[in-house]
Structure 1
Amino acid sequence: MKKVLLLVGLLLPALVMANESVHLDHAPIDPNNQASLQRGARTFVNYCLSCHSAAYMRYNRLKDIGLSDAEIKSNLMFAGEKVGDTMTVTMPKRDAKSWFGATPPDLSVQARAYANGPDWLYSYLRGFYRDDTRPTGWNNTVYDKVAMPHVLWQLQGEQTLKVQKTVDEHGHEVEKHTLVLTKPGVLEPAQYDAMVADLVNYLVFMSEPAKGLRLQLGLIVILFLGLLFIVAYYLKKEFWKDIH
């Protein structure tokens, strides 16, 4: 156990530095927007759940974002039989590894796997570009040499990476990377960004479905303790008034 903790301690700074070295766009998410969460859940089930599982998430938790059991079963369930089932996939891990070169990770808590999870996911899903040197034909500005193909390319279109060499303020030659949309997709760029924001919003919700309730209960507890403090303070004054 000590060796494991030591290894994590050694790797964590490197992971944080790796995240900081990549420019991340701010994810415009709203955890209180149920319509956005519902749209994100739809995108997740239609495009992500074919390869990625969410083994720690049950379909019935979608009731927390305003969906009924009937709506969940008729619109979002294509693999499970019961609303209480977890979001698993039937694709064998061995086949997935042989097809993609790596087993697709479980996405249950993916939004919490990085220091800037929502921003990382938002930038990653918008950062795919054509790269003929890669087995899938795709690469990513956030995750270089990514094994995952761009499953949303029909919606976003095809981007290419434009590299420009410039000189910074210290006189050093640096490369500036820019993504250029060379083949439009079904959605306009603004529409695609909005769809990705909804998807990331849902991934954040899925990583901790009880967060909203936990925050509400925390506020109630704090208010209760505040009222209790007032009662205890005046009670203490009443007991000690003859001494003070």
Structure 2
Amino acid sequence: MKNLIVHAKRLLTAVLFAPALVFAAAAGVPLDKAPLSTDFERLKRGATTFVAECLACHSASFMRYNKLTEIGFTEDEIKEKLLPPDKKVGDLMTIAMRPQDAKRWFGGVAPPDLTLVTRQRNSEFGSGADWVYTYLRSFYRDPSRPNGWNNVVFPGAGMPHVFWELQGEQTAKITQNPDGTQSIELVLSKPGTMSPQEYDEMVADLVSFMQWMGEPIAEKRKSIGIWVMIYLAVFFALAYALKKAYWKDVH
């Protein structure tokens, strides 16, 4: 669908089958704000989901398994819960699937590396984390697509809805608006094993981990930046006082 914009809000009701997402078409895709967290327990849950569900097709080739100790995993936990049999703790998080095979199986486009995806998807409508968060919640059934799925945020995406058993199946109702745009309403037609709230929390944990993975040093960088600014402020005050003292006789 050309020139599709998604503009709407999520409609939650008390009835399980009624939750819906409504989108209005125009020239871009407004994104839901991702509820990111730096809590270690949530990051660990996100990492576990990433390894179990994403790492089969997508690599994270700039990240090593032992780096996960920085969010609270021990090396024994990594070996027991996350590490594939053919990998070592110090190995990169790569996959066995060859790019040429991936292109053939996924319609000519290999699944991208996800290490930096939340940094690459920044747009005027939101951050990269917002994009991924909205994307993973916007799949709907589309029989016209080869894999049976489509996505409002990324129409024609080659990726199937890998979390459909958890979220359930959404169907799209398209309405033509008087101004010539279209509205797409996503309705949960078949519930999954999770409630909508549980699914959103799972996706939020996953995106939080992907955000951390894109820049593991982000929190340390921010704290260092504060001290640098304090240092510069003190240095400026001392330099200004020295200048005043040096030029006092001239003025």
Q: TM-score, normalised by structure 2?
A: 0.82
Q: Structure 1's 87 and 221: CA in aligned 2 closer, same or farther, altered over 3 A?
A: same
The 5 Å alignment of 1:35-184 reads: 35-78=41-84, 81-101=87-107, 102-114=109-121, 115=123, 116-167=127-178, 172-184=179-191
Q: CA deviation at 1:137?
A: 0.8
Q: CA deviation at 1:97?
A: 1.7
Q: CA deviation at 1:215?
A: 1.3
| Structure whose residues are more often helix by fraction | 1
Unpaired runs of 5+ in structure 1? 1-13
For residues 190-232 of structure 1, the C-alpha deviation after alignment (integer angstroms, 9 at most, x for no partner) is 1101111111111111111111111111111111222223333
The residue type equivalent to 1:206 in the other structure is M
Counterparts of 1:135 and 1:215, CA distance in 2: 45
Segment drifting more, 57-66 vs 232-241 = 232-241
Q: CA deviation at 1:112?
A: 1.2
The residue type equivalent to 1:134 in the other structure is R
Alignment length (residue pairs) = 223
Q: CA deviation at 1:187?
A: 0.4
Segment drifting more, 52-61 vs 225-234 = 225-234
Q: CA RMSD in A?
A: 2.1
Counterparts of 1:69 and 1:205, CA distance in 2: 19
Counterparts of 2:85 and 2:99, CA distance in 1: 16
Q: CA deviation at 1:233?
A: 3.4
1:26 aligned to which of 23, 33, 51? 33
Partner of residue 219, structure 1:
226
Local SS of the residue matching 1:37: helix
Q: TM-score, normalised by structure 1?
A: 0.84
The residue type equivalent to 2:194 in the other structure is L
Counterparts of 2:27 and 2:51, CA distance in 1: 30
The answer to whether the Cα contact below 8 Å between 1:100 and 1:147 also exists between their aligned partners in 2 is: yes
